[in-house]
Structure 1
Amino acid sequence: MDLVEMLTRPEGKTLEFKRDLSSPDGVLRTLVAFANTAGGTLLVGVEDRSRNVRGVSDALDVEERIANVVSDSIAPRLLPEIEILPWRRTQVIAIQIHPSAARPHYLKREGAESGTYVRVGSTNRRADTEMLQELRRTARGETYDEQPMMDLDSEALDFRAASESFKPTRTLRRRDLETLRLLTTHQGHTVPTVGGMLLFGRERERHFPDAWIQAGRFSGRDKAKIVDGAEFRGLPVAAIDAAIAFIEKHSLHGAEIGKVRRMERWSLPPVAVREAVINAVAHADYAQRGAPIRVSIFDDRLEIENPGLLPFGLTVADLAHGISKLRNRVIGRVFHALGLIEQWGSGIQRMTAACREAGLQDPLFEEIATRFRTTIFTSQVNPPTLDDTDQAIVDRLSDGQGKLTSEIAAVIGLTSRATRTRLARLAGNGLVREVGSGPQDPKRRYFLAK
């Protein structure tokens, strides 16, 4: 385990710092949240805000205390990997938790209903009823949209609407409804699944009042003034097309004058827009109530937001590597059959590639509260302006080994004081990170930010 590398990273979904064990409840909540969500590492002996390394006074005693309190306080039983890491003249305790197949874990004294936590960004959030049910479904290998709607019959699905959706790709037969899991058998009766009702239900709005897309075009960079809005409440396949058309209508576009004719250039790459809208509909958590999928267009960006965190076990960093988990298997299967989803896990990569080809920065993916947001920026990429001295510092740090102030000063030919000023500015711009025991630490090292 690379302590220095972890110290260069901020706290987040899979990393947290604790100064000590004076408040074990906070440590236990974090470990439960890690186990329930995507795993993670907790470092004891590091201040959470400054990342200054304080160390622990008696590492073996702290290690034993952690093992005992975890065993006594968390159910089902959780087995963390605890490692003592050396740091100069002291030591840091690293507690590593892997995503658990036995989720949901909870604090015994609070009980399963109140003591189950999940990780949202760098915070621990108590799981509400819907999230607790999703944790249990995940442990059973089930998805929400596969659940039978027991009080309905097969006629609750609009077969004609489903056939029209499939018409461009294939002829839909009634027996295909069960193959696609739009219908299922429950206690001897054929009933629609949640996914079936969401996609082709006759009274889908009555059962799922928040399963629609709200779109808005705002003037400026915030939501203070809206200039156009629309609601798309039809079947998801049609709603996707309507939402994409709304975005295209409001995407500023310029022109390139070619040798033969004038060519339009949209400020938003159509491929990226399409992938973002489809992903939001395919991966939304329809068990949540209270807010629809939202499409917000600003002067400098497009935001597409859907209810639901990433599926348990995934992090935002996984997305760039094509790692994917389908939250809604029925919707995913149908979208794949319709040609809306081409290949599992490739949507994010296609979105990123399209933005890069258009000269835009990479899309931003975030978990915010209990929602997931994709942001596509419309401005051309403007890398930070570096003078020759700043560039020399960046080049010196590019080996990833970390350098002392004196080592950098020797390369750029400035005093240590002037070098520290440069480094502080680069750190403020997010280009450099510093690792040490505090602002006055003479052995503080500098790294390129990741």
Structure 2
Amino acid sequence: MANDLCGRGGGDILIGVDDAGRPVAGVDTGDRALLALTDLRDDGRILDRPSFTVEPAVYRGSPVIRIQVRASATPPVRFEGCVWVRPGPTTRRANREDERVLAERRRAMHAPFDARPLALTSPSDLDLDVFRQSYLPSMVAPEVIEENGRPIELQLSSLHLVTPDGNPTALGLLTVGLDPGSRIPGAYVQFVRYQGTDLDAPIADEQELRQNLVGLAGRLEPLLRSNLRTRLIEDGFRETPQPDYPLEALREICMNALMHRNYETSYAPTRIAWFEDRIEVTNPGGPFGQVREDNFDRVTDYRNPSLAAAMKGLGYVNRFGRGVGRVRKALESNGNPPAEFQVDDASWAVVIRRAA
């Protein structure tokens, strides 16, 4: 229904109605049941995330649950790597022609920045080897890849990396571009390691990571790991290694910064400033959509929804809406103080302090 092959604007799903259209007894319409259905949107199996609402309703005098699905502005939407469509009363896997229709239906002018085409770009700006070897196997089910008849142009378009007429999108440049910064100036990470606790301290290491997302992730983790210091903590007759920062929390913070940052109007990089007593990760772009300074740890919204879907498919984020909780848990387990979040209209910063 999110793919909306028939062009009807989405559709409704009623839970509590049998195949003959009769209501059935005993349907649970409580908050827990509604929440379990709402979580289907955020568990990462459906990418890009669809827009739908879940609410109790009445059908022929009996209680049911209604899921109202809106048509996606950036189809095709995939479930576990497959595109599914509903051309009539049945649901089936999309064929090549279905995917072409869905790709052409995308409303580029109203799409988020990451789904828009970029001027002065061509398919030659994309690293097709990275696409075939790393990106495509992560995003598309193996049985779909094995099917014949889908040319590279349709594969790129189906995954929102190019428009139907072949122009690379911001997502394409960010994820598999040869040089993303040539068209998106802020698309890089600046890493600085200071030998002290303030910006006037001598610099021990400084690097700029200017690569597509696949290459950047490959460089970022070993860079973070190499700067960690580990000590042995005595626990009875055992000695347990404890890093000064948990790598899991660092990875989560950095990847969420790349996912949520403002690529459209800011030329500033994502910054990682590593001091002797703390690490500060800063990215341009304040709260977006439903997110506010007072609810960011409970509410999620996405400035770059296609990029978020790509990062989930590639395994760089675990599950939508769980980043803050994972960071807090990892810091607590490692003995670090709680993370400090600094949010304003133009930027977002996370400060984590060294374990005592």
Scaled by the length of structure 1, what TM-score is found? 0.49
Q: Which residue of 2 aligns with 1:178?
A: 157
Q: Which residue of 2 aligns with 1:355?
A: 331
Q: Which residue of 2 aligns with 1:255?
A: 232
Q: How big is the shift at 1:263?
A: 3.8
Which residue, 267, 275, 287 being the options, matches 2:264? 287
**Equivalents in 1 of 2:172, 2:136: separation in Å?**
17
SS at 1:265's partner residue? strand
Q: Which residue of 2 aligns with 1:166?
A: 135
Q: How big is the shift at 1:152?
A: 3.0
**Equivalents in 2 of 1:252, 1:261: separation in Å?**
19
Gaps of 5+ in 1: 1-139, 381-450
Task: Select the structure with the greater relative contact order (CA < 8 A; seq sep ≥ 6).
Answer: 2
SS at 1:183's partner residue? coil
Q: Which residue of 1 aligns with 2:314?
A: 338
Q: Spell out, residue by residue over 1:127-159, the C-alpha distance to the aligned partner (whole angstroms, 9 max, x if none).
A: xxxxxxxxxxxxx97311111225433343222
- Amino-acid identity (%): 24
Change (3 A) 1:154 1:167: closer
Matched, 1:246 2:223: yes
Alignment-mate amino acid for residue 127 of structure 2:
D
Change (3 A) 1:176 1:348: farther
SS at 2:350's partner residue? strand
Contact preservation (8 Å) 1:180, 1:333: no
Contact preservation (8 Å) 1:216, 1:229: yes
**Equivalents in 1 of 2:332, 2:237: separation in Å?**
26
Change (3 A) 1:142 1:213: same
Alignment-mate amino acid for residue 302 of structure 1:
I
Contact preservation (8 Å) 2:178, 2:211: no
Q: How big is the shift at 1:350?
A: 0.7
Contact preservation (8 Å) 1:182, 1:330: no
Alignment-mate amino acid for residue 233 of structure 2:
E
Q: How big is the shift at 1:287?
A: 1.4
Q: How big is the shift at 1:312?
A: 3.3
**Equivalents in 2 of 1:248, 1:210: separation in Å?**
24
Q: Spell out, residue by residue over 1:351-390, the C-alpha distance to the aligned partner (whole angstroms, 9 max, x if none).
A: 111112222222111125622111111144xxxxxxxxxx
Contact preservation (8 Å) 2:290, 2:300: no
**Equivalents in 2 of 1:159, 1:378: separation in Å?**
41
Contact preservation (8 Å) 1:316, 1:365: no
The number of residue pairs the alignment matches comes to 237
Which residue, 144, 152, 156 being the options, matches 2:121? 152
**Equivalents in 2 of 1:305, 1:161: separation in Å?**
28
Q: Which residue of 2 aligns with 1:325?
A: 301
Change (3 A) 1:154 1:257: same
**Equivalents in 1 of 2:197, 2:169: separation in Å?**
40
Q: Spell out, residue by residue over 1:367-415, the C-alpha distance to the aligned partner (whole angstroms, 9 max, x if none).
A: 25622111111144xxxxxxxxxxxxxxxxxxxxxxxxxxxxxxxxxxx
Q: Pick the structure with greater CA Rg.
A: 1
Scaled by the length of structure 2, what TM-score is found? 0.61
Q: Which residue of 1 aligns with 2:19?
A: none
Q: Which residue of 1 aligns with 2:350?
A: 374
